Amino acid sequence: MIMQTTTTSESHPMDAPKQGLPVTIITGFLGSGKTTLLNHILTNQQGVKTAVLVNEFGEIGIDNELVVSTDENMVELSNGCICCTINNDLVDAVYKVLEREDKLDYLVVETTGLADPLPVAMTFLGSELRDLTRLDSIITVVDAANYSLDLFNSQAALSQITYGDVIILNKTDLVDETTLQELERKINDIKEGSRIIRTTKSQVPLPLILSVGLFESDKYFDSEEEEHEEHHDHDHDHSTCGHDHHDDHSNCEHDHHDHEHHHHHSDHLENDGFISISFQSEKPFSIRKFQYFLDNQLPTNVFRAKGIMWFDESPQRHIFHLCGKRFTIDDDEWKGEKKNQLVLIGQNLDSETLLQQIENCICLPSTSRGKGFGK
């Protein structure tokens, strides 16, 4: 079952689909570092135009050098990003952003510190915004230094961790390793297999929390550089994802000697062990095998993935997005040769194993191809 149908351009195959400006919701308690993270997003974009919706943009303290113009509820920046306040109604603020002439690539919404992120998420999933936006991720910022463990008894804190696709454990420089491990254990007690990124001053590589740009102009695949490959082990959950697919087909024969390309691109990933892994194949995947990979093998230190997917059981081109454990697979039409292209980004990945596991999803085209998912 596919949730929604999308259209993408050929020059930027992973651009936001026509009906979906990608949205990231940032949640976390007061003082956890949300505002610092928002500033980081607004000032470090590389050719991506982002709108940030906040309750009070004055709190962000945007660098005056960046400000092009300010009106009562909006600040425009020289890098094409804007910051807009949510006055009374989130939906109105989103429409205000969507109605702008210059096209935005991304929308980031900050919740108030005591908020349960679910009602904010439902604004994008269940209202008239559903066809105009795509909920890409919920990022939860946790203050490692002041996050008293009794706060795990707070309903809002539980919701922020439960619904967070990626947990940013911030201010890690202020506590010792034992405290961090205990906090991570507590987070995993609430949500098993949580994707946790440790940060100082909310400095997180943006591709780990915003998916725009993972496939900029196919640069991950046009590179001369080809390196050797990768793999890992993980637990995946679809309880929060917009899509749940199963297949009953498949006598797919695996071909080990396919012509695959694998390379690392760590351009806009900082150090700290963050890397990007690319996979490309001229052969289709088995849906069943790819589902197994997502459910049973994808390691928790893969935070984002994006792909153009070719499944043996479906004539459609499929756009795959993953953040944390949430993933969506959207239908599209092929415009050119069918192939699989996949990028994963994470920290301290066992690249060789990970790529081998992805390669194991390949099957030879079957003689009786199905008509699509669930048919």
Specify whether 289 is located in the same domain as 345: yes
Specify whether 337 is located in the same domain as 222: yes
50 in a structural domain: yes
d(CA 89, CA 80) in angstroms, rounded, equals 24
CA–chain centroid gap for 193, Å, is 16
d(CA 187, CA 158) in angstroms, rounded, equals 9
pLDDT at 150: 64
Specify whether 49 is located in the same domain as 150: yes
pLDDT at 248: 34
CATH number at residue 111: 3.40.50.300
d(CA 370, CA 363) in angstroms, rounded, equals 14
Specify whether 176 is located in the same domain as 233: no
**What string of DSSP letters covers 280-347?**
EESSPBPHHHHHHIIIII--TTEEEEEEEE-BTT-SSEEEEEEETTEEEEEEE---SS--EEEEEEEE
Tokens of 125: 């999933």
Specify whether 197 is located in the same domain as 117: yes
Specify whether 200 is located in the same domain as 236: no
81 in a structural domain: yes
135 in a structural domain: yes
d(CA 128, CA 126) in angstroms, rounded, equals 7
Contact 170, 32 (CB under 8 A): yes
pLDDT at 180: 94
Q: Which of 155, 177, 208 is the last residue of a domain?
A: 208
Specify whether 143 is located in the same domain as 51: yes
Q: Structural domain tally of the chain?
A: 2
d(CA 49, CA 247) in angstroms, rounded, equals 38
CATH number at residue 285: 3.30.1220.10
Q: What pLDDT tens digit does each residue of the chain (375 aa) get? A: 233 333 333 333 334 344 588 899 999 887 888 989 998 888 887 778 889 998 877 777 777 777 887 877 888 888 888 888 887 788 888 988 888 877 888 999 998 767 788 888 988 887 788 888 888 899 999 999 887 666 667 888 888 999 999 999 999 999 999 999 999 999 999 899 999 999 999 998 888 888 765 554 334 343 323 333 333 333 333 333 333 333 333 333 333 333 444 444 444 565 678 888 999 999 999 999 999 999 999 999 999 999 999 999 999 999 898 998 888 888 888 888 999 999 998 999 999 999 999 999 998 655 555 555 544
373 in a structural domain: no
pTM: 0.76
Specify whether 141 is located in the same domain as 157: yes
369 in a structural domain: no
Specify whether 84 is located in the same domain as 142: yes
103 in a structural domain: yes
Specify whether 96 is located in the same domain as 239: no
Specify whether 316 is located in the same domain as 174: no
Specify whether 337 is located in the same domain as 240: yes
54 in a structural domain: yes
5 in a structural domain: no
- Between 155-163 and 117-126, two packed helices, what is the crossing angle to 10 degrees? 50
Contact 24, 48 (CB under 8 A): no
pLDDT at 266: 43
Name the residue among 205, 195, 144, 134 with its Cα closest to residue 169: 144
Residue ranges making up the domain that contains 176: 21-208
